[in-house]
Structure 1
């Protein structure tokens, strides 16, 4: 994978609209799982590429500081050589004075070269710094998006489990519907009602038999009374005849 492709994926993934992608998915949970895996892999690739880019920037910065420091040192050497030449020339030693002036020129040439290299590196460092900042921002956006994806996936899983639990409860409620004549509860209720009716019928039958017995006793009492009166009547008549 080249840096350009990694950087392009950083930009594309960081700008991805999660909701729009989910709307077109047949199974959002499966898609989110895949997206989380893709994002995690892309973040790892991006971190490696960005680390290399930052490393290159730091090398440029190191070279720049070395060039600046070298230019400063060569400038100091040129100044020292020039002063030494002036001292020798004042002392009447023109030959040695010329040698130190030549050394000063060499040092100045080295100073100019170092300054040129430092100046050339400045725009490269500025451009590379801007690129690194953009990549860091893109990487942070990807990590934020990854957190959103993980949260969305967990939310969907929770909602799916809740829906499944509700469906299970509804199925259970339907299976014990007391108003359903085909349900087991209704069948048991009907059986119990029949048993209760049978007991009531037996009770009524027992009560009816007892009433009949009491009615027989009443009839027997009336017959006995009739016989007694008849006997008394006969006894009264016999006494009247005797008189």
Structure 2
């Protein structure tokens, strides 16, 4: 089973949990990243064990090859001593060792292919994990910003805000009425300062009239 098929199984097994947290994208992102990290740790552990098993298989294959060489030497020795029966028996053992060695070598070839694919999938998963972590902060920021905007929109469109604004309008109208009443009381009444100001204006006009009369008297005499 590949890394990504394994990861898919993990996500599918937690689909109910994901749905429960669907209203919280931040938790979903953290869960997905955690699953990816756990999968990566698990696969690396499996890869390490596979590499150890490969070394053991290689040692066994090498041992069978050495045993085959020894049985070859024993067969040659027996034949040199005119013991064809022993030489034949030694060649039978050599054949068994060679077959066992070849079987292990074939198995090692499959293991190498599996390890190569595993390493490639691990690299892909690491890239996906790095990308997910890089996007995690941006996703969380977008989610928080969207929630903040939603709260503002709800407040703007809420009846409470509209009621408050209506109350403000009502208060402003009441204050306008009060100010109008105050201004009505002031109509027709003069303060001491207003009366004094009027006297000053009258005095200025009298002075200006006297000056005008004085100016016009010489002109009338000359006529």
Which range, TM-score by smaller chain?
A: 0.5 to 0.7
Please, which of 200, 207, 214 is the counterpart of residue 217 of structure 1? Answer: 207
Please, which of 15, 31, 35 is the counterpart of residue 34 of structure 1? Answer: 31
Q: Does 1:55 align with 2:45?
A: no
Distance 1:61 1:54, change over 3 A: same
Distance of 1:155 and 1:222 partners within structure 2: 87
Please, which of 113, 123, 146 is the counterpart of residue 129 of structure 2? Answer: 146
The 8 Å contact of residues 2 and 118 in structure 2, kept in 1 or not, is answered as no
Partner of 2:65: 68
RMSD value over aligned CA atoms? Answer: 4.4
Partner of 1:155: 138
The 8 Å contact of residues 69 and 94 in structure 2, kept in 1 or not, is answered as yes
Partner of 2:110: 127
Distance 1:208 1:106, change over 3 A: farther
Shift of 1:222: 6.2
Distance 1:11 1:215, change over 3 A: same
Q: Does 1:11 align with 2:5?
A: yes
The 8 Å contact of residues 53 and 132 in structure 1, kept in 2 or not, is answered as yes
The 8 Å contact of residues 71 and 94 in structure 2, kept in 1 or not, is answered as yes
Deviations 1:126-151 (A, max 9, x none): 33333333333332222222122212
Q: Does 1:78 align with 2:75?
A: yes
Distance of 2:152 and 2:206 partners within structure 1: 64
**Which ranges in structure 1 are unaligned for 5 or more consecutive residues?**
1-6, 86-96, 171-179, 183-204, 230-243
**Which ranges in structure 2 are unaligned for 5 or more consecutive residues?**
154-164, 169-193, 219-223
Shift of 1:61: 1.8
Shift of 1:69: 2.5
SS in 2 for 1:98: coil
Partner of 1:91: none
User: Would you say how many aligned residue pairs link Structure 1 and Structure 2?
Assistant: 174
Alignment of 1:190-209 (within 5 A): none
TM-score by length of 2: 0.57
Distance of 1:76 and 1:65 partners within structure 2: 17
Distance of 1:71 and 1:213 partners within structure 2: 143
Distance 1:45 1:12, change over 3 A: closer
